[in-house]
Structure 1
Amino acid sequence: MNASTPAWLPHIAEGAPVHLNIVPRSLQSYLDEAADRFGDHKAVIFQNLTLNYRQLKEKAETFAAALREHGLNTGDRVAIMLPNLPQTIIAFWGALKAGATVVMTNPLYMEKELTHHFSDATPKFLITLDLFWNKIEPLRERLGVQTCVVSRIADALAFPLNILQPIQAKRQGHLPEVRFNGQSVIPWKSMFKTRRRYSEEPEHPEDTLALLQYTGGTTGFSKGAMLTHGNLSAQIQQLLAVIHCDASNSSHSFLSIMPFFHVFGLMGNIVLPAVLAASTMPVPRYSPHDVLELIKKHRPTFFVGAPSVYISLMQQKDISHYDLTCIQLCISGSSPFPQASLKQFQDITHANITEGLGLTEASPVVIANPVYGLQKIGSIGVPIPETEVRIVDIETGKTDLGDNECGELIIRGPQVMKGYWNQPEETASTLADGWLHTGDIAYRDSDGYYFIVDRKKDMAIVGGYNVFPREIDEVLHEYPKIKEAVSLCVPHKARGETLKAYIVPKDGEKITVSELAAFCRTKLASYKVPRIFEFRDELPKSMVGKVLRRALREEEEKKQHEEEQKKD
């Protein structure tokens, strides 16, 4: 095998593409293709509403025409602040067809987050839900939005539920009053009164922004990753190569649990289904029981989710009453999938599960385990086609490291963002010499498979040794009484900082500190064993199920500050 041949090549399915001829194209062209070739295929299934691809394209182009009539110009930003609903899908495609840049917005944002988000992105339009209006309306002047389009739950339903739902909501006090004025605040339905349709194609997809996707804000306020049509269409072509599918050779239906406002949910549950002319089933509010019933009724084949979702389904007491073998293909991301849980889900479904690494700044997938080929337990897999990956030294970020040496993972590829919106200094430091510095500590084995050790910012130094909390987390998840666990380095008045583990026991289980410490000592070097254990009913998580180490660290810093104030 010569130096240019990747070490992982013998371990993937025969015939799987290693190189691709990436063709930059607009995202909306995929919707057009689905409507033209597979117009009768179901595109959206929600409650008693079903839209086929022909209808979805028509609604998107009508919505685009209405945006233009209300003053949208090419390149303007449109913020979409909605849960997983049919309206979210229509608004996303409609905004793109109108020539806008989409700004997906977390509906759970509060005042401080909203004002930062909108002052940074400066969207001209906001598409939202009446249930959020009491939060938005007092901030309207500060948000600087020209026009708010407000939808209701009933807009996602067909007759007779679209008539019955508002009546029931009003009785229960869940129908907020919105004062529509026909100009700055307009109802969703009014956007479909125009007889015009509009669809605009970017002249240069590789340079035209499709999405301002805001990062989770692991430090300070979130930043807007500038993702072009070229970035996102490249990612789609890469994903098709990874899953070995296209619209002509597959018949899939997607269970859409991951939030659409997250890039993982957006690409995996709105864009990818359209590319495959497949149906997507939006789930606006996650309930394990409701999802199991949805699987029972509609038999979805494709599941995109975070490990916490897969695990919560398996923890349902009546899981054995449900047949999950309809699920053929799963993509897991956002956080590591505990090994025992991954195997359990595969045993229940017999599905192929691919786990990999994704970043907002990379549209998002850069590395994945082969769907058909060698999947290494604990590995994030191998680079997806046309993606270059290096492991470099942590100190300078310039020296390449060899196999089994831990360093920072950096990447380069057509899916990598243009930069951060209004953040030239952050862009320069993150995209150094054209390479995206991920902040992830990783290593590559002799087969060319990559393993994440931890986040660079989460690395702790204990007694002069580097300690990666993720290694401790993996050990804790092996303990049979533990449901969830996470560790981090916290301030300590004597040691400066020390390791602490937060534990959520399984229902009905009691765990002592001494037994946990003893277990950890059998698996870890003594300096890696947490000095403090705290038991909790739950851990703070993001909307995509990622445990928020940042929130726990802030708690500890607040405690230390309060203790110091008491002394003073």
Structure 2
Amino acid sequence: MDNRPWLLQYPKEIPAELEYEPKPVHAYLTESARIYANKSALHFMGKELTYKEVYQSSLKLARYLNTIGIKKGDRVAIMLPNCPQAVIAFYGVLYAGAVAVQTNPLYTERELEYQLADSEAKAIISLDILFPRISKIRKNTDLEHIIVTAIKDYLPFPKNVAYPFIQKKQSGIVVSVKHEGNHHLFKSIMSGTSPAAWEDPAFNFEEDLAILQYTGGTTGMPKGVMLTHKNLIANASMCDAWMYKAEKGKEIVLAMLPFFHVYGMTTVLILSVMQGYKMILLPKFDAETTLKTIQKERPTVFPGAPTIYIGLLNHPKINKYDLSSIDSCISGSAPLPVEVQHRFEEVTGGKLVEGYGLSESSPVTHGNFIWENRVSGSIGVPWPDTDAAIFSLETGEPLPPNEVGELAVKGPQVMKGYWKRPEETDAVLKDGWLLTGDLGYMDEDGYFYIVDRKKDIIIAGGYNIYPREVEEVLYEHPGVQEAVVAGIPDPYRGETVKAYVVLKDDASITEEDLNAFTRQYLAAYKVPRVYEFRKELPKTAVGKILRRSLVEEERKKLQNEEIIG
């Protein structure tokens, strides 16, 4: 107990230790389809699917994947927004014995090619409008099959008829793919395949991978985090224990967090299926659409990110909507401002608390209590079965309360390692401890606080952005001599991306030029929002650019503006 003072804070309803039944993630869909066969599992723009329908559709996809050669351990990429196909695809891939590689639909060709090549994915399940992008980079990957679906496939009438016209008007893209050869139509698979019972006698709860979740770092390219079935089941079970007032089979979850992000996958997708909840699927965030959906569909659980809650609170008509159905919200992906927490609770009457995690821990390790004592500014306490400690950066030894060091965590949700990167795995996994790279401290009561990031990761709007990746694109511009990227404070996104650029002597480049260039190679949320041209950048004696000094300049500038204001 001396090493785990947080356990004294636990309410009697939350156990310090949990038991995990050694079965795969998809076994919970089998179970929910048996218990809640005719209960609505998904709601998507007016369309409802029952648990039985989701289960049978997943088995159809699994059987088809096996038929085209996908076998146990093969990687299958899923490049979809939150829609029924994303749920069916995830469980179908797992039923087939394969490993899901969640891929952001916003990825450019460059980003997509890297992830598919690194994961050695043999198949991808994607939207029709993304088919041209995949086709262009396919030859540089191990892709053998492309399975294509369309949003209209799961829309009710007359939305399914109108949607193609809306899509053409918005994107200008019209794609026609035939169900032949190595190109497959999701709709044809569903209509022409019989579901088959799932069997996997060789299943290993602790070792078998369920997903490769790509993350990144400031040194090197994105890495595939190997998460096992045990990792994901453990974290979803911890979340269930934390939300002990939630009723099995009765909650309605607003599923806006993208499933291609591990936070949305674990705390929304996997937990909902495990507990028989109904998911209201929203493929993207739009404040007014979200407010209307809450009023009409009456969700009780609303996991999100600070930018989502801020966006709703800033909507001029928020007081015209009835948001009283919301009971509990866990915010993640970025620090939650205290004033946002208080305002959102006043508007909804529900509880909003901050949690903490990272892809390498499936993702959640800490959280504030939803219905008990909460500490403003704290990430809360470790979840059940989770150890946490602050290690000295100098000695590597555990530090006493209130001393700042590196946060480390240990528990059944911690990853198996990085895909094909043993050296980088060894650098962050030490005797079972995961070194998070975040600097923080623990108080005497066991509450943890993050004070800074050891890594230079930028978190903008809940998305992780890695400076090195953006910098490499900037360096490819023929007029750029030096470039460094950093996160600067932003009232809405939390942080935003700023690029500091030194141009070559003969170059004449504007901010608009660089913006157009970077948008060719980076997803929109990674593109710098601010550019600053300089004659030189601050460096160490050996020539390393001092990113942190630039960040400090921005902080001082902001403080001066506040004082003057």
Task: Report the TM-score when normalising by structure 2.
Answer: 0.80
**1:237 has 2:237 as partner:** yes
Number of positions where the alignment pairs a residue of Structure 1 with one of Structure 2: 490
> 1:492 aligns to what?
none
Rounded to whole Å, the distance in 2 between the matches of 1:212 and 1:173 is 30
Q: Equivalent residue for 1:182?
A: 180
Q: Is the CA contact (8 Å cut-off) linking 1:254 and 1:281 kept in structure 2? A: yes
Query: Does structure 2 conserve the Cα–Cα contact (< 8 Å) formed by 1:38 and 1:53?
Result: yes
Q: 2: distance between equivalents of 1:363 and 1:7? A: 24
Give 1:285 deviation, angstroms.
2.1
Looking at structure 2, the residues matched to 500 and 21 of structure 1 have their Cα atoms a distance apart, in angstroms, of 41
Structure 1 stretch displaced more, 177-186 or 222-231: 177-186
What does residue 356 of structure 2 align with? 357
Pairs within 5 Å for 1:437-516: 437-458=435-456, 502=489
Q: Aligned runs of 1:49-128 on 2, under 5 Å?
A: 49-128=47-126
1:435 Cα deviation from its structure 2 partner: 1.0
Aligned-residue offset at 1:181: 5.2
Give 1:309's aligned residue: 308
* Aligned mates of 1:305, 1:246 — CA distance in 2: 17
Identify the residue that residue 194 of structure 1 maps to in structure 2.
193
Q: Which amino acid aligns with 1:43?
A: A
Contact 1:166 1:175 in 2 (8 A): no
Separation in structure 2 between the aligned mates of residue 371 and residue 503 of structure 1, nearest angstrom: 27
Does the C-alpha gap of structure 1 residues 372 and 157 become closer, same or farther in structure 2, counting only changes over 3 Å?
Answer: same
Q: Secondary structure at the match of 2:140?
A: helix
Following the alignment from structure 2 to structure 1, what is the Cα–Cα distance between the partners of residues 328 and 139?
A: 46
Q: Percent identity?
A: 38
Counterparts of 2:529 and 2:453, CA distance in 1: 15
Q: Deviations over 1:30-52 (max 9, x none)?
A: 11111111112210101131001
- SS for the counterpart of 2:138 is helix
Tell me the CA shift for residue 24 of structure 1: 3.0
**Cα distance in 2, alignment partners of residues 260 and 133 from structure 1:** 20
Q: Which residue of 2 aligns with 1:372?
A: 371
Counterpart Cα distance in 2 of 1:326 and 1:311: 19
Closer, same or farther in 2 for the Cα pair 1:173/1:287, shift >3 Å?
Answer: closer
1:501 and 1:88 map into 2 onto residues whose CA distance is 34
Q: What corresponds to 2:223 in structure 1?
A: 223
Q: State the distance in 1 between where 2:353 and 2:256 align.
A: 17
C-alpha distance in structure 2 between counterparts of 1:29 and 1:326, whole Å: 30
Counterpart mapping for 1:134-533 below 5 A: 134-166=132-164, 169=167, 174=172, 176-180=174-178, 182-192=180-190, 193-201=192-200, 203-244=203-244, 248=248, 251-396=250-395, 398-458=396-456, 502=489
List runs of 5+ in structure 2 lacking aligned partners.
Answer: 461-466, 468-483, 494-517, 540-565
**C-alpha contact 1:354 1:371 (8 A) present in aligned 2:** yes
Query: 2:13 touches 2:244 (CA, 8 Å); kept in 1?
Result: no
Query: What is the CA-CA distance between 1:173 and the residue it aligns to?
Result: 6.9
SS of the residue corresponding to residue 365 of structure 2 reads strand
Shift in Å, 1:313: 0.2
Change in Cα spacing, 1:130 to 1:52, as seen in structure 2 (3 Å) is same
- 1:188 and 1:559 mapped to 2: Cα distance? 51
**Compared with structure 1, are the counterparts of its residues 500 and 113 closer, same or farther at alpha carbon in structure 2 (3 Å cutoff)?**
closer
Deviations 1:138-178 (A, max 9, x none): 11211321000011111121334323433554577745223
Q: CA RMSD in A?
A: 3.2
Would you say the 8 A contact 1:34–1:276 is kept in 2? yes
Match of 1:18 in 2: 16
Superposed CA offset, 1:268-298 (max 9, x none)? 2211111121111111121101111111110
Q: TM-score, normalised by structure 1?
A: 0.80
Q: CA deviation at 1:450?
A: 0.4
CA distance in 2, matches of 1:246, 1:298: 17
Amino acid at match of 2:274: V
Q: For residue 243 of structure 1, report the CA deviation from its aligned partner.
A: 0.9
Equivalent residues of 1:64, 1:198 under 8 A apart: no
Mapped contact 2:106–2:524 kept (Cα < 8 A): no
> Post-superposition shift, 1:229?
0.5
Structure 2 SS opposite 1:8? helix
Aligned to 1:3: 2
Measure the CA separation in 1 of the matches of 2:296 and 2:179: 41
Partners in 1 of 2:199 and 2:379 — Cα distance?
38
Cα distance between partner residues in 2 of 1:423 and 1:500: 27
Structure 1 residues 388-420: Cα deviation after superposition (integer angstroms, max 9, x where no partner): 111001134x21100000000011111111000
The whole-number CA distance in structure 1 between the counterparts of 2:138 and 2:227 is 27
Distance verdict in 2 for CA 1:223–1:188, change over 3 Å: same
1:193-223, Cα deviation, whole Å (9 max, x unpaired): 1124242345211110000000144443110
Secondary structure of 2:5's counterpart equals coil
